[in-house]
């Protein structure tokens, strides 16, 4: 459908909430999604729709590949550290949990209330489709290959996403220095909220909003940086981010329609 949309006029742009235009290399998309790409020639002009990283490119894009919810939480959490060069080579571990709405709207037996209530489980081990999306964009920020071990989980809530990210530190860092890295990287960003000590992200703080809460701590015993990232998988993780991209594309105030306060201060 996208090529036809684009043929209808030069002022028309497409924001795709699917995965077809999130990748720069068609072979990665086809390997992980097990389908043949219907419009591979358009990948070269598609922009990855994470405004905090690619705002200027989004402004003039004809195609925006809206990121997945897990990659949004993971990349917003990882990007400042990768850009600052404080992460050494080695696998990055993303341990993430999503509300049931993150599994889509198709009726499935294992997503019924009786199965999900009071239950907690992992899924998509080793080959989850969001893995290469996170790796590709993390690698672009870092300027080198970044390997990610990504394990998603379903939790018995309707919405909300929480990612705990473990990164091997290149050197010792104080928690204050980590906060300053995030504060400086996201200075002026309307929807990313780095939290100072002693505060930590929680899903209740972002539900029904387009915000992402972040916090980072250094573990001197293991040499790991632990990053916590929380967002609403249906807003900043999906439709809200699409509206944010639309606002950027058409020159509207970026926060237009996205300033709902949520349910928690």
- pLDDT tens profile 61-80: 999 999 999 999 999 999 99
Q: In what order do the strands lie in the sheet with 212-219?
A: 121-122, 148-154, 92-98, 161-168, 224-231, 212-219, 192-194
CATH of domain 2-67+238-249: 3.40.50.720
For residue 54, give the DSSP letter: H
The pTM of the whole model exceeds 0.85: yes
Q: Which fold has domain 69-233?
A: Dihydrodipicolinate Reductase; domain 2 (3.30.360)
Domain ranges of the chain: 2-67+238-249, 69-233
Token output for 241: 């981010």
Strand-pair category, 161-168 with 121-122: unpaired
Confidence grade of residue 139 (pLDDT, cut at 50, 70, 90): very high
Residue 29 scores a pLDDT above 90: yes
Strand-pair category, 14-16 with 224-231: unpaired
pLDDT digits (tens, 9 = 90+) for 170-227: 999 999 999 999 999 999 999 999 999 999 999 999 999 999 999 999 999 999 999 9
Confidence grade of residue 112 (pLDDT, cut at 50, 70, 90): confident
What pLDDT is attached to residue 260? 87
Of 53, 58, 64, 69, which is the active-site residue? 69
Contact 244, 51 (CB under 8 A): yes
Strand-pair category, 212-219 with 192-194: parallel
Mean pLDDT of 110-126: 85
69 is catalytic: yes
Residue 244 sits at φ, ψ, to 5 deg, of -60, -45
What pLDDT is attached to residue 154? 93
């Amino acid at each position: 459908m996208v090529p036809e949309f684009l043929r209808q006029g030069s002022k028309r742009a497409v924001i795709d909430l699917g995965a077809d235009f999130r990748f720069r290399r068609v072979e990665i998309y086809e390997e992980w999604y097990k389908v043949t790409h219907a419009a591979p020639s358009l990948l070269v002009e598609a922009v990855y729709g994470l405004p905090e990283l690619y705002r200027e490119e989004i402004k003039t894009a004809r195609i925006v590949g809206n990121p997945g919810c897990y990659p949004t939480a993971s990349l917003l959490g990882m990007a400042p550290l990768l850009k600052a060069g404080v992460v050494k080579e080695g696998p990055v571990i993303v341990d993430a949990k999503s509300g049931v709405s993150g599994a889509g709207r198709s009726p499935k037996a294992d997503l019924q209330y009786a199965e999900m209530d009071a239950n907690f489980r992992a899924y998509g081990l080793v080959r989850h489709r969001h893995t290469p999306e996170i790796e590709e964009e993390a690698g672009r920020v870092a300027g080198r290959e970044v390997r990610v071990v990504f394990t998603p989980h379903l939790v018995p809530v309707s919405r909300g996403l929480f990612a705990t990210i473990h990164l091997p530190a290149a050197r010792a860092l104080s928690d204050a220095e980590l906060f300053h890295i995030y504060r400086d990287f996201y200075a002026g960003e309307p929807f990313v909220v780095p939290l100072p000590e002693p505060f930590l992200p929680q899903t209740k703080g972002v539900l029904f909003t387009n915000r992402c809460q972040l916090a980072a701590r250094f573990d001197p015993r293991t040499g790991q940086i632990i990053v916590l990232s929380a967002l609403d998988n249906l807003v900043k993780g999906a439709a809200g981010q699409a509206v944010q991209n639309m606002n950027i594309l058409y020159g509207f105030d970026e926060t237009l329609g996205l300033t709902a306060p949520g349910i928690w201060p």
